[in-house]
Structure 1
Amino acid sequence: MTIGSSHNHPADLTIQPAAEVQPWAARFPNPPDLCFDYRRLLEQSGGVAHATRPEHRICIVGAGVTGLTAARELLRCGFTRITLIEQSQRVGGRHLTLVNNQSGLGQPSTPFEMGAMRMPLFNRSDEPPKAGRSLMAYYAQLFDLAMTNFPNPGTPWVNATGIYLREGQLEGEGDSTLLIWKNPQGDSPPPTATLQSIQGKWQRFAERFAERVAAVYGTAEWEAMWADIVEHYHQLSFRDLVRLPSLPQWSPDSPGDFGGLGMDHEESAIFYAIGIGDGSWGAFYDVCCLYPLRTALFGFSSHLQLVQGRVDPDGRPLPAPYLGLETVQDSQGLEFQGPAYLGLAALDECLLFMPIEAQGISLYDHLVERKDGLLTDSSVCALHKLDDGQIKVVYRCKHSVPDQQQLLSEVFDSVILTTPSWLIETNMRLEGFTKAMLPQPIMDAWKHAHWETSCKVYAPLQKRFLDEHPHLPQILVTDSFVHDVYAYRYNDRYADDCILLSYTWEDDATKLAAFTDEELVDKCVEELDRILLRCTNIAQPISPYIDRSNIRIQRWMTDRNSLGCAKLYRAGTYYDAVSLMKYNRDLAASSGLYLAGESFSVDAGWTEPCLRTAVDTVINLCERTAAQFKGGFSLEHYPHYQVR
């Protein structure tokens, strides 16, 4: 998060809505739709509702954070016949924390977050992260997850940020230099007049937008204002918005029009490389501009947190179920990865293994009581809608061992799909659903979804690098093929620090796809050395401090359990994405099929929409089965997703 990275403007605002806030409305900052306080619903004793049909049989496809959340909250409501099917031999999906245990010291070291890594909790600037009105904040508090401020570029949480653009000659000809941005208090501008001008154009737009939103968010006026904003901008790419002329002033006669950033071609080219988000924005320059607007101006980029895990101050995991077991067994006795409670993956492990207070039993222990409760290494290949209204789920057991696969099936009353949409299209047959149950535009929306690829290259970094070189920036933002580089420390007691040698998205990740892991490691380390040695104000390599023998690489597009890293949408397709979010409310009661997870959201790459869509599914399934909602909540309090 470079230009504007320390600018937590949405979280800093103290503007209170002028009109009365709607019942159950969320507070700002929070996602624009739905404007609903999901945390309040889950904080109630027993959760969302009390099931009146506990025997209603539910299948959840996918044990990522979405599937685990849906399963846990349905169990809290009293639904007892839940089946969770996972294709891989671990839980967590794109929450993928790899831990290097090569030190031999009997403790974990250098966790690598190969997927999602920086968490917004939607807290305001005057409160701690876990006080945020978000589901992530709720679960972080519930499970006692330890967190620290994420070392984003340009923030006070790094010693300095190095900016290397145009071979170190951003300001013209001469010696190549690494621009050094130190920002210890969070209010220091970037280090050149050019970058400061670009930052100013972004901030003027952002401040005007967020301040107007904060004044009506959560009131009866909000849905109309958001609809105006969507209608005004949904046909524009982010590239278009950057070049669109700025607006002299906002007018209440056109409430959805905030103009553009007003950058010229040269400024736009630099902005492309340096971004407003979490590093370079080039990979997202041609997506619908509503995505970066949502990301930057509704709390997704404020006070981001690095989840260390369910650990004590020394980084050691707190006592927890099944801790220390390399593998545990599912309902069929198949082994899958045991919990380490480290990094972001600790959230998923807590959802599965930590006891639910009211039940006195964990989701895992409940599921494995039945032979069909938790099925890992099992790939769903078909859903058949039956004449009696039920759904037959066909799956391959022992998916990873082709010569031992078994084709099995079970019948359910409801099915919750949480998998990436391209897996649905390529791996599953959906049969027997009428066009009224599953309209063609809905299937087109997930088939035509744009999934971005991403590649991460992590390595252990010797602790002496950060200790002995305080003058060297620990974060590097470049327009080189490595793009963004992060060096940071989890804990003083861990044997090593870690370095994200290269973090790339979309075309920048695709161009690296042809190289083997060994070739890519060499290229990244050599390129980083080349940059540092070329810069006359640095002139020293980093390679002596990198442990090449324990490098980890994750390429999400070729991961068979994912087929992509984040589902985005291009200009003109925003309403298609929202139609998927509306499906549960409009059609799930007749189809018995529920859609949840990032595939059916508009905030790709983040955990919060996964949690929200999981709870949305619980709400709508409870309504369908006549469950008794708690706390005076009813579906009348639940806002609608808006489409034209």
Structure 2
Amino acid sequence: MTIGSSYNHPANIATTLPSPSRTWAARFPNLPDLCFDYRKLVEQAGGIAKANLSSHRICIVGAGVTGLTAARELLRCGFTQLTVIEQSQRVGGRHLTVVNNPRSSSPSTPFEMGAMRMPFFNRTGEAPKEGCSLMAYYAKLFELRISDFPNPGTPWVASTGIYLQEGELEGQGEPKMLIWNNSDGSTLPPTPALQHVYAKWHKFAARMTDHVATMYGSEHWEAQWAAIVAHYQALSFRDLVRLPALENWDADAPGNFGGLGMSPEESAIFYAIGIGDGSWGAFYDVCCLYPLRTAIFGFSSHLQLVHGRVDEQGNPLQAPYLGEAVHDSKGLRFASPNYLGLATLDECLLFMEISELEKSLYTHLLQHQDGLLTDSSVCALSKLPNGKVRVQYQWNVSNPDKTTPLSADFDAVIVTLPSWLIETNVRLEHFTPTMLPSSIINAYKTAHWETSCKVYASLKKSFLRKNRRIPQILVTDSFVHDVYAYQYNDNYAYDCILLSYTWEDDATKLASLSDTELANNCVKELDRILLRCTNMGQPISPYVDTDNARVQRWVTDKNALGCAKLYRAGTYYDAVSLMKYNRDLAEHSGLYLVGESFSVDAGWTEPCFRTAVDAVINICRTTGAAFNGGFCMDDYPHYQVEV
């Protein structure tokens, strides 16, 4: 998920910055809340630490990217008694790559039904895989093929079409599609109205970015970020857009950078198209710190499309279990790895060999009767008098006639589930208020999970090869909102088109339509728009294969109940308290809360990696493991929470 297109200014100015003065500090651009170089810790030979208590029995609930990362890094540390429990019959969670092969023996471009455009936190001029991030580390380790993501209004697309107010945004008389060609990366969007909105956003963002970049990683950073949080945490993004602009930053009010200073009319445009790159409206009523951190700290810089572990033609490289059936520890079959798209990341975490151990996480888990359990739904976590945590689960849940209730006791349990699933599906028993305070329970229960709906279809190769009129990317204020047509390579039989990418109310309003109706209606609406525009006059439907359309509605997915966890204005400190839990209380409760549910960076893979590693760090601390590379807990900064 992203609220906008590539905003490379943070990565551009970072090239002039010195290295952080503190040994384990991250460099800019990077996450603001915990200025720590996780990649440096994880990529050491031997990983994070050497376990002192290898028999410490650990259960990981969920085999998405968070759970698999935690399990892999624990194994590298020497923790051998691991159990991974996954409710579905595949790994990957909200990394959901659909491999679609319509009427062809040749492979086709996969559909990314979940996360799709990845920030690597690399500086401009630096290869993405050298970025200061765990995403960059694992992409390099697993030899993933990547390319610049074709975001609206960027050099990576042939053209971006903008359709607002029925094609009459500028009152030009005839309905027209506004065309933005930006092959050099510096061309402004078309029309004065769009340029004015663009300029107001960039003026604000550049002022704030230029200031925080010079302080990031220094001894003054935590105080600076705390001041920004204190000033903005009670404001929604809608408030920030209308807040008057500030001409000069004042050192006596270090957290105040003003607002965007937009009029109601400008705000309406910004709501629909951001800076010409897709709707930001779904985020108007979340805390403004979310879009600020997303744009200012590198989440929108040099975004990448992950092709998979493939060659230039898109053919998978040799890898474990490619094209083979795979089974869990109890013999249940689950989805085989394809090594295509972003889901490759999860498949590699599970199946690729760990060099120090000369075996994979999968091989290790299969050596234990309950090492890897798929199709198994955790229903209760109970704190026992002996200090252990009992995990109760239903095994073989997709087969009601053979579903079996089972349980096992563990020294530690890493919970990676979306928080609404915890509340609705998992009983928490016998955890005292000192182990699991009501404030923590309330924070994850009342967290806001956004709906999201993606509609993909196969696209004939002739659209990108021969079409010269219809823009490659469309941004509209219609119900389709954002439309992406793109390809991975010339070898695949079909390309793909994301017919509609919507969030929150824009996604919820589509709930009454069946998948088939929605796909067909999207194409009909795009045809209507294109035929209405006097500079288009050509339908897109001849290029689109709606018989091979796929729809993903994350809020009704029983393994997710939402696509991204956000926070409303005034609730930022609640979200941060969840991130602090592992360090403050997990040693007493035996529970480690990780994943996007317990982060403030909604919709991204990087916080999933980092919270997983945070759990490993704290388990190592609790069990007296010897950290590698001279790292100690004094080097690990604390989250800043309102007093």
Looking at structure 2, the residues matched to 212 and 132 of structure 1 have their Cα atoms a distance apart, in angstroms, of: 21
Asked if the contact 2:50/2:628 (under 8 Å) is kept, the reply is: yes
- 1:130 positional shift: 0.5
Q: How far apart are residue 101 of structure 1 and its match? A: 2.1
Separation of aligned partners in 2, 1:402 and 1:573: 41
Matching residue of 1:142: 141
The 2-side partners of 1:280 and 1:435 are apart by 42
The structural deviation recorded for 1:5 is 3.7
CA contact (8 A) 1:247 1:258 kept: yes
User: Could you say what secondary structure the match of 1:441 adopts?
Assistant: helix
Paired position in structure 2 for 1:480:
478
Question: Counterpart of 1:268?
Answer: 267
**Equivalent residue, structure 1, for 2:392:** 394
2:54 matches 1:54 = yes
| Alignment match, 2:524 | 526
Structure 1 counterpart of 2:249: 250
Q: What is the Cα deviation at residue 42 of structure 1?
A: 0.8
The corresponding residue for 2:318 is 319
The corresponding residue for 2:588 is 590
Deviation, 1:17, is 6.0
Please say if residues 17 and 219 of structure 1, whose CA atoms lie closer than 8 Å, have aligned partners that are also in contact.
Answer: no
Distance in 1 between residues matched to 2:371 and 2:137, nearest whole Å = 26
Distance in 1 between residues matched to 2:561 and 2:200, nearest whole Å: 36
Q: Give me the whole-angstrom Cα distance separating, in 2, the residues matched to 1:94 and 1:3.
A: 18
Contact 1:417 / 1:593 at 8 angstroms: preserved in 2? yes
Q: Is the CA contact 1:501–1:524 (under 8 Å) kept in the aligned structure 2?
A: yes
Task: Say if 1:70 and 1:617, in contact at 8 Å, map to a contact too.
Answer: yes
The equivalent of 2:352 in structure 1 is 354
CA distance in 2, matches of 1:7, 1:603: 17
Alpha carbons 1:19, 1:216 under 8 Å: kept: no
Distance 1:171 1:278 in 2: 18
Q: Counterparts in 2 of 1:301-380, with a 5 A limit? A: 301-325=300-324, 327-380=325-378
Are 1:98 and 1:113, in contact at CA under 8 Å, matched by a contact in 2? yes
Are 2:7 and 2:300, in contact at CA under 8 Å, matched by a contact in 1?
Answer: no
* Structure-2 separation of matches of 1:517 and 1:16: 49
Contact 1:3-1:276 within 8 A present in 2 as well: no
Cα distance in structure 1, aligned partners of 2:184 and 2:549:
34
The 2-side partners of 1:340 and 1:439 are apart by 42
Q: Is the 8 A contact 2:234 2:569 kept in 1?
A: yes
Structure 2 residue aligned with 1:74:
74
Tell me the SS of whatever aligns to 1:177.
coil
CA gap 1:276/1:380 in 2 versus in 1, 3 angstroms: farther
Alignment correspondent of 1:602 = 600
Shift of 1:580: 0.2
Match of 2:444 in 1: 446
The Cα offsets for residues 242-296 of structure 1, whole Å up to 9 and x where unpaired, read as 0000011001111100000000110001000011596201111000000000101
- Aligned counterparts of 2:292 and 2:103: Cα–Cα separation in 1: 43
Post-superposition Cα deviations, 1:287-317, rounded to whole Å, max 9, x if no partner, equal: 0000000101100000000000000111000
- More displaced stretch, 162-171 vs 466-475: 466-475
Contact (CA 8 Å) 1:329, 1:336: kept in 2 or not? yes
* 2:33 paired residue number: 33
Q: State the 1:14 CA deviation.
A: 3.8
Shift of 1:2: 11
The residue number in structure 2 matching 1:492 is: 490
Provide the C-alpha distance between the structure 2 equivalents of 1:184 and 1:288, rounded to a whole number of angstroms: 34
How big is the shift at 1:3?
10
- Maintained 8 Å contact 2:104/2:493: no
CA distance in 1, matches of 2:2, 2:436: 43
Gaps in structure 1 of 5+ consecutive residues: none
TM-superposed CA distance for 1:548, in Å, is: 1.4
Q: Secondary structure at the match of 1:611?
A: helix
The change in CA–CA distance for 1:405 and 1:565 in structure 2 (over 3 A counts) is same
Distance 1:167 1:555 in 2: 27
Identity of aligned residues (%): 70
3-state secondary structure, aligned to 2:344? helix
The alpha carbon displacement at 1:473 in A equals 1.0
| Alignment partners' CA distance in 2, 1:22 and 1:537 | 56
Distance 1:584 1:3 in 2: 29
Partner-residue secondary structure (3-state), 1:100: coil
2: distance between equivalents of 1:2 and 1:323? 31
Q: Summarize the Cα distance change of 1:3–1:369 in structure 2 as closer, same or farther, 3 Å threshold.
A: closer
- SS of structure 2 residue aligned to 1:602: coil
Q: CA deviation at 1:126?
A: 1.4
Aligned partner of 2:199 in structure 1 is 200
SS in 2 for 1:75: helix
Q: SS where residue 440 of structure 2 aligns?
A: helix
Give the 3-state SS of the residue equivalent to 1:621 in structure 2.
helix
**Which residue of structure 1 aligns with residue 624 of structure 2?**
626
Partner of 1:433: 431
Q: Which moved more, 1:269-278 or 1:151-160?
A: 269-278
Distance 1:102 1:181 in 2: 32
Alpha-carbon distance between aligned partners in 2 of 1:448 and 1:309, rounded to the nearest angstrom: 36
| Partner SS for 2:483 | strand
Q: For residues 323-377 of structure 1, give each alpha carbon's deviation from its aligned partner in whole angstroms, at most 9, with x where no partner exists.
A: 012x410000001000000000000000000000000000001001111000000
Deviation at 1:19, TM superposition (A): 10
Partner of residue 534, structure 2: 536
Secondary structure of the residue aligned to 1:501 is: strand
CA distance in 2, matches of 1:14, 1:435: 44
Counterpart amino acid of 1:90?
R
For 2:599 and 2:380, the matched residues in 1 are separated by: 23
Distance between the aligned counterparts of 2:451 and 2:426, measured in 1? 22
Partner Cα distance (1:192, 1:372) in 2: 62
Amino acid at match of 2:244: P
What does residue 65 of structure 1 align with?
A: 65
Q: What is residue 287 of structure 1 aligned with on the other side?
A: 286
SS of match in other structure, 1:437: coil
- Partner secondary structure for residue 481 of structure 1: coil
**Cα distance in 1, alignment partners of residues 536 and 276 from structure 2:** 26
- Relative to structure 1, the CA distance from residue 175 to residue 397 in structure 2 (aligned partners, 3 Å threshold; closer, same or farther) is same
**Which shifted more, 515-524 or 64-73?**
515-524
- How far apart, in 2, do the equivalents of 1:403 and 1:234 lie? 50
Alpha-carbon contact 1:378-1:399 (below 8 Å) kept: yes
Could you tell me which residue of structure 2 aligns to residue 84 of structure 1? 84
Quote the offset at 1:18 in angstroms. Answer: 8.0
Contact kept? 2:197, 2:275, Cα under 8 Å: no
Paired position in structure 2 for 1:100: 100
**Candidates 549, 561, 564, aligned match of 1:566:** 564
Distance 1:510 1:567 in 2: 16
Question: What is the DSSP-based 3-state SS (H/G/I as helix, E as strand, rest coil) of the residue aligned with 1:402?
Answer: coil
Question: Helix, strand or coil for the counterpart of 1:554?
Answer: strand
Q: TM-score, normalised by structure 2?
A: 0.98
- The question of whether the paired residues in 1 share the 8 Å contact of 2:375 and 2:395 is answered with yes
The DSSP-based 3-state class of the residue aligned with 1:384 is strand
* 1:304 maps to amino acid: L
Conserved 8 A contact 1:52-1:627: yes
Shift of residue 614 of structure 1? 0.4
Could you say what secondary structure the match of 1:458 adopts?
Answer: strand
> How many Å separate the matches in 1 of 2:299 and 2:14?
18
RMSD of aligned alpha carbons: 1.4
Q: TM-score, normalising length from structure 1? A: 0.98
The amino acid across from 2:411 in the alignment is: D
8 Å contact from structure 2 (residues 415, 593) kept in 1: yes
* Deviation of 1:104 (Å): 3.3
Q: Which amino acid aligns with 2:349?
A: L
**Alpha-carbon separation, structure 1, partners of 2:277 and 2:113:** 15
CA distance in 2, matches of 1:126, 1:539: 41
Please list the CA deviations of residues 352-403 of structure 1 after superposition, one character each: whole Å capped at 9, or x if unmatched: 0000000000000100111100000000000000011000000000111223
